[in-house]
């Protein structure tokens, strides 16, 4: 799968997440889906823009770093609307990391080793 195909898949998933946000029945769920949609769309745009000139490894590092910062924000927020938005953002990065192995060959195991994060 090439970057253009990955970008399109992420854009499709972002559209689906935005649809889920519109259909959500609680403010928390709306924020969670909006966070996911935001990340999926942003990464798609990144891959089509600045990411075009970047090496796969650099893209991987950028996305894992962004996810780590979002996870830190989520842990600091703990609860309430901000926490739900961060939860969605982290979930969006998790989705991105499921498709990047198609481009980079890296896996979740590599993320877990780097961040010490455990998928529960």
- How many helical (H) and strand (E) elements, i.e. helices and strands, does the chain have? 6, 0
Percent of the chain with pLDDT over 90: 67
The domain in which residue 59 lies consists of 3-115
Task: Give a yes or no: residue 120 inside a domain.
Answer: no
Q: For residue range 6-36, what is the model confidence (pLDDT) as tens digits?
A: 999 999 999 999 999 999 999 999 999 999 9
Q: Give pLDDT, residue 118.
A: 46
User: What's the structural domain count of the chain?
Assistant: 1
Task: Give a yes or no: residue 7 inside a domain.
Answer: yes
Pick the residue with more confidence: 54 or 111?
54
Tokens of 18: 């935005």
Does 105 have pLDDT greater than 90? no
Tokens of 85: 């938005």
Crossing angle of helices 80-99 and 3-23, rounded to 10°: 150
Global pTM value: 0.84
């Amino acid at each position: 799968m090439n970057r253009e195909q990955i970008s399109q898949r992420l854009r499709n998933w972002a559209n689906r997440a935005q649809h889920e946000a519109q259909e959500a029945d609680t403010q928390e769920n709306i924020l969670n889906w909006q966070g996911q949609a935001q990340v999926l769309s942003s990464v798609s745009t990144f891959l089509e823009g600045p990411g075009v000139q970047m090496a796969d490894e650099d893209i991987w590092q950028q996305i894992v770093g962004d996810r780590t910062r979002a996870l830190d924000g989520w842990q600091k927020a703990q609860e309430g609307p901000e926490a739900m938005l961060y939860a969605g953002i982290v979930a969006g990065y998790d989705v991105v990391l499921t498709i990047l192995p198609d481009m980079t060959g890296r896996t979740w195991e590599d993320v877990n080793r780097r961040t010490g994060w455990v998928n529960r």
